[in-house]
Amino acid sequence: MSLPTDTSPGVADALGYLQHYLQELTERQNASEHAINTTLMALTAQLQQVTQLMTSSAPASTIAPSPMPVSPPPVTPPSPALAASSKQRARPKLPSPPDFSSERSSGRAFLNSCTLYLHLTPEQFTCDEEKIFWTLAFFKNRCAAKWSENFFHQEADTGIFPIQFWVDFEQQFRSQFFPVNAEADTINTLEGSSYYQGNRTVDNYLDSFLILASDARYMDPQTLVVKFHRRLKLNVQSQIATMPFGRPADTGLQAWYAAAWRIDQAWLANEAFQSTLRSTTVTPTRSAPT
């Protein structure tokens, strides 16, 4: 690189020094790049040698073949008998009906209990005759035992049990052990003057009232409200009838039940509170005159 002729000697020396220094840096950089490339080539060659040695030294037996897919064993569906037995084992144990007392007032409850058991355990009975025999096993007292005994006498005489179907047995049982005219008797009770709440709680009165209303086949809500209201205690009647707000409608049967229950519970709570006060009140005693 040539310099102008008028360049001073000091500047020329400085520029020469810088040019020499840049040349040395360039040479050093080239040497470093060459060394790095040489090292990388050597490492690459060594890595290839190691890989070849590992591949050639591995025994053939260590390379395991890929496993063959194994198909699952066929699933055999359970037999109907096994499924039925499993279902039977999973069902909770049911209590047997009580012995029948032969009273007409308990005939409906006994028959309902037997019917429920038969519906929930159909696998225990193969025919209607087995159901009838099972039910007759609970006829052990008085008229019920005599009624059952007559059937077996007829079988002994004819060789055939006189009732073959469950529906026929139900019909004869109803005619023999159900109240003769339960609906009329219930209506007379509800319409008479002897049926009142009395000293019973509203809960107990309501339970008996619902049974009577069902037996009497009362379905009209307004009629049921009138019957229920008329037989309540006088104080409960008055409080419901004179409620300034929220008085139940004349057809609101459930609202009447709820209102009577709340008033009765409040009255019982007050009675318990007053009883506690009376028991804790101490009457002062007068001292004897001296």
Residue holding tokens 């001073």? 8
Helices first, then strands: H and E counts in the chain? 11, 0
Residue holding tokens 């509800």? 190
pLDDT in tens, 52-72: 887 776 555 445 555 565 566
Extract the tokens encoding 287.
Answer: 């001292």
Which one-letter DSSP state was computed for residue 73? P
209, 230 contact by CB (below 8 A): no
| Structural element, H or E, at residue 194 | none
pLDDT tier for residue 127 given thresholds of 50, 70 and 90: very high
140, 99 contact by CB (below 8 A): yes
Which one-letter DSSP state was computed for residue 147? H
The CA distance from 131 to 121, in Å, is 11
Residue whose C-alpha is closest to residue 148's, from 166, 161, 167, 160: 161
pLDDT in tens, 178-213: 876 666 667 767 776 667 888 888 888 888 888 888
pLDDT tier for residue 154 given thresholds of 50, 70 and 90: very high
> Does residue 245 have a pLDDT over 80?
yes
pLDDT at 147: 92
Burial tier of 187 (Cβ tally within 10 Å: 0-12, 13-18, 19+): middle
The CA distance from 82 to 259, in Å, is 55
